[in-house]
Amino acid sequence: MTLAEILASLFPAGHDVRVAGGLITGTGPLADGPVHVLGVADRTALGVDEALRMAGAVIDIARSPSGAPILVLIDSDSQRMSKRDELLGLSEYLAHLAKSLLLADRAGHRTIGLLYGHTAAGAFIATALATGTLVALPGADPVVMDLPSMSRVTKLSIEVLTEKAKATPVFAPGLDNLAQTGAILATWDPAKALDAQLAALLATPVGDDVRDLLGAERKGRTKSAEIAKRVVELARAGG
Amino acid sequence: MSVDPNVMSWYEASARQRIDALTDPHSFVEFIGPEQREVSPHLPIFDLPEQFDDGMVVGRANIGGASIFIAAQEGRFMGGAFGEVHGAKLVGLLRAAKAMKRDVLVLFDTGGVRLQEANAGELAISEIIRAIVAARTEGVRVVGLIGGRSGCYGGGGLIAGSCSTLVVSEHGRISVSGPEVIETNKGVEEFDSADKALVWRTMGGKNRYLIGGADLFADDSVAAFRTAATAALARTPRLDLDTMEAEQVRLQRRLDRFGNATDAVDIWTTLGFADAAAVPGLSTDEFLQMAYGHREAADDAR
């Protein structure tokens, strides 16, 4: 689905969501009140300038008393790979955005990520993966690293990597593989109205980070939840 | 044979040597140690050797008598990269830190996500950031120490940016995209990864300390890192929306002041150093003296 189609289905009564400089901002009405819409469009790379603008918008919303949820729509590139961005400390800007989203969620502004296009690497961590609940639309294309780059690093051919990917979802790019590891709660049905699907999601209670349990259940990450739980138990047993 | 921590190089030390030298004698208790042989289930797919601790050592210890949790990455195994088991150990430690309100030291030494288990590594990094935020909002300090062989790259840089305080040495590189990644994707004109001086002055500890990307600058010795870690653990812990507003202002100020810089030397000149080009050659004492009163500081805006 295109961004315009998504917004039309989310807000049949209209909205004021706009895209400027690759960033999405605005609001739209749901049955229970307004929802803030933020995000990255047009496969824009997330550099220091974009991350700071987006974090500023998140903090402003988190400060507002309404408690209105934040929908984060993502079709991004990876982090911007440039000398300037790294010189200025891109890691801090991306971490700042991730922390702001997590704190907004804790401050009562529920954060829902909707992955509708591409995303990769540091941009993925700082946006979609920093929302309280992440859902996707079919055709979404999250990657940690694309197979050609992985082929260079691992010195294995793309054919061999594609073959290995069939045996395990743990390294290969794509929505299905990320979903199996627990990153994505659900994939929405584009044939049904998105406003109803969003409303249903907002009606579910907010919980802890259960992505490792989800990964175990879906057999995409068999060890994470168990190892983390054992460490917690050992730490607590020692007093 | 024990090595004198005053002279042992942090850069050269292993993860376990760093923990031993940093913490009170015989106080370290490891959780899921190598004897448990919790190895990566994914490396055999690529015919790669496993390590019994998967390159991550976690446990509890004392520093100056105070109980802390501690995690150390082994940069010499898979470049200290985050895989499923490696990452899950730190997730568990941070969740325990929140529950027990106990401070955490994270000894970074990482190239980022381990590509052979990229999805699990990426997700672990996200879980770690979320667990750090949850612990910090409960008043827990999460102190990052950076000065290892593999630096602190990729998602490791984002985790570092989520810590309450960062200690860095000259050798400590903090960055998202590594030099080779930028060169491969954008060309050698954008970043020449073979130019080591460029790498150090762009991503290295001195520039990070000067722009406020790190809070304490340490000599490359385990003793200096211990002194700095102790100072970091004495700082007032805080993470709330006020902190984020202060960080927003701080990071905006950095763009306003240095946004047009084309090299670290331009930044250092703007900071007011008469001989900015000399910064890389300064000793720790000379550097700290020069930085004093000129550097940008993060204070409570991280």
A16 close to A96: Cβ distance less than 8 angstroms: no
> Which residues of chain B have a CB within 8 Å of the CB of A224?
84-85, 87-88, 91, 120, 123-124, 127
**Structure confidence at residue B3 as a pLDDT band (50, 70, 90):** low
Chain B residues in contact with A230 (beta carbon < 8 A): 31-32, 92
d(CA A117, CA A43): 8
- Rg of chain B over CA atoms, in angstroms? 19
Query: CA B159 to CA B113: how far, in whole Å?
Result: 12
Query: Would the pTM count as exceeding 0.80?
Result: yes
DSSP calls for B176-223: SS-HHHHHHHH-TTT--TT-HHHHHHHHSHHHHHHHTS-SEEE-SSHH
CB contact under 8 A, B244 and A144: no
Q: Are A238 and B29 in contact (CB under 8 A)?
A: yes
Q: Are strands A133-136 and A111-115 parallel, antiparallel or unpaired?
A: parallel
> Considering CB atoms only, which of A125, A150, A177 is closest to B155?
A125
**Do B95 and A232 make contact, defined as CB atoms within 8 angstroms?**
yes
Please give the mean pLDDT across all residues of chain A: 95
pLDDT, one tens digit per residue, over A48-96 is 999 999 999 999 999 998 899 999 999 999 999 999 999 999 999 999 9
CA distance B74 to chain A (A): 18
- In DSSP notation, A15-43 reads ---EEETTEEEEEEEETTEEEEEEEEEEE
Q: Residue A178 and residue A113: Cα distance in Å, rounded? A: 14
Residue of A nearest to B182 (CA): A81
Q: State how far the alpha carbon of A19 is from the alpha carbons of A3, A26, A28, B231, B301, in Å.
A: 10, 9, 14, 45, 29
The Cβ of residue A190 has, within 10 Å, a number of other Cβ atoms equal to 15
pLDDT at A147 over 90: no
How many Cα neighbours within 13 Å face the side chain of B183?
A: 11
Amino acid at B107: L
Residue A207 has pLDDT above 90, yes or no: no
Phi and psi (nearest 5°) for A2? -80, 165
B41·A121 Cβ contact <8 A: no
Interior angle at CA A108, CA B301 and CA A97, nearest 5: 40
Q: Cβ of A48 and B251 within 8 Å? A: yes
CA-to-CA distance for A231 and B31, rounded, in angstroms?
Answer: 6
Q: Report pLDDT for B232.
A: 97
- The secondary structure of B55-90, three-state, reads CEEEEEEEECCEEEEEEEECCCCHHHCECHHHHHHH
Strand partners, B202: none
Encoded amino acid at B34, one letter: P
What angle, rounded to 10 degrees, do the helices at A90-106 and B241-258 form?
160
| pLDDT score for A166 | 82
Q: What is chain B's mean pLDDT, rounded?
A: 96
- Residue in this structure with the two tokens 């990426």, named with its chain if needed: B122
pLDDT digit string, tens, across residues A25-54: 999 999 889 999 999 999 999 999 999 999
Which pLDDT belongs to residue B299? 84
pLDDT score, position B2: 57
Q: What is the enclosing helix (H) or strand (E) of A213?
A: helix A211-217
Question: Do the interacting molecules here have an ipTM over 0.95?
Answer: yes
Q: How far apart are CA B242 and CA B245, in angstroms?
A: 5
A103 → closest Cβ in B42, B133, B184: B133
Determine contact, residues B235/B141, Cβ cutoff 8 Å: yes
CA–CA separation, B219 vs B113, rounded Å? Answer: 28
Q: Which amino acid is it at A21?
A: G
- Cross-chain CB nearest to B202 (options A83, A99, A172): A83
Nearest by CB to residue B182, choosing from A83, A100, A102, is A83
- Residues of chain B in contact with residue A172, where contact means CB-CB under 8 angstroms, are 119
A38 CB within 8 Å of a chain B CB: no
